[in-house]
Amino acid sequence: MKKATRPEEQSRLLQGQSITASASPDVLLVDMPTKIARILAYVLVPCNSLNRFEAEMLGDHCLNSTIAKLANDYGLEFQRRPEKVPNRWGAPCDVTRYSLPESQYPRARAVLALLSKPAKGRDRSQLSASELEFVTLVEQRNSLLIAQGMPYDERKVALRRYVQTLHGKRLEGGRAA
């Protein structure tokens, strides 16, 4: 007896698409260090788009959260298109298909470059001048917040906001301050 086709496969078959047409999930699983980087690399390929079932092949079990992180933390704007796909039992299921407009490609490439850099296991001698400047600025801000007596939990939130601001300036080509 043949197994039933999975919902994500049914979705692609209905639309005549192959998820591996332009970017192989197997390659992305090996080459991209994180799920957020894999999703971004996949939608950066022209004509590629994903719904939550297709994202499973890239190791993402909560695509809506990944897209929200890319939008809110990195300023990327995604196109969202509602669609119906068959669920496991063949009944229609409402999902959202996410794609990246071509106007977002330059910013997305810059974000992907940041996400793709391995950071763990590197000492300061391996950092570029801009990376070293970035780390130094964050450390200085942390020291200032400690001197002001800010508790750890509040400091962590403040530093995350500061890092997001610095990332935004780096992506826009400005100098960090």
Structure confidence by residue, pLDDT tens digits, 100-153: 999 999 888 888 888 876 555 556 676 777 777 877 888 888 888 887 888 888
Answer yes or no: do 14 and 80 share one domain.
yes
Answer yes or no: do 110 and 149 share one domain.
no
Work out the pLDDT band at 24, boundaries 50, 70, 90: low
How would you class 24 by CB atoms within 10 Å of its CB: exposed for 0-12, middle for 13-18, buried for 19 or more? middle
pLDDT tens, 27-51? 555 566 688 888 998 998 888 999 9
Answer yes or no: do 83 and 154 share one domain.
no
Answer yes or no: do 96 and 131 share one domain.
no
Answer yes or no: do 130 and 101 share one domain.
no
Which H or E element spans position 121? none
Q: Look up the CATH number of the domain holding residue 27.
A: 1.10.10
Q: Is the pLDDT of residue 73 over 50?
A: yes
How many Å apart are CA 58 and CA 30, to the nearest integer? 10
Evaluate whether residue 82 is within a structural domain. Answer: yes
Q: What pTM was estimated for this model as a whole?
A: 0.55
Number of structural domains found in the chain: 2
- Which domain covers residue 134, as residue numbers? 124-171
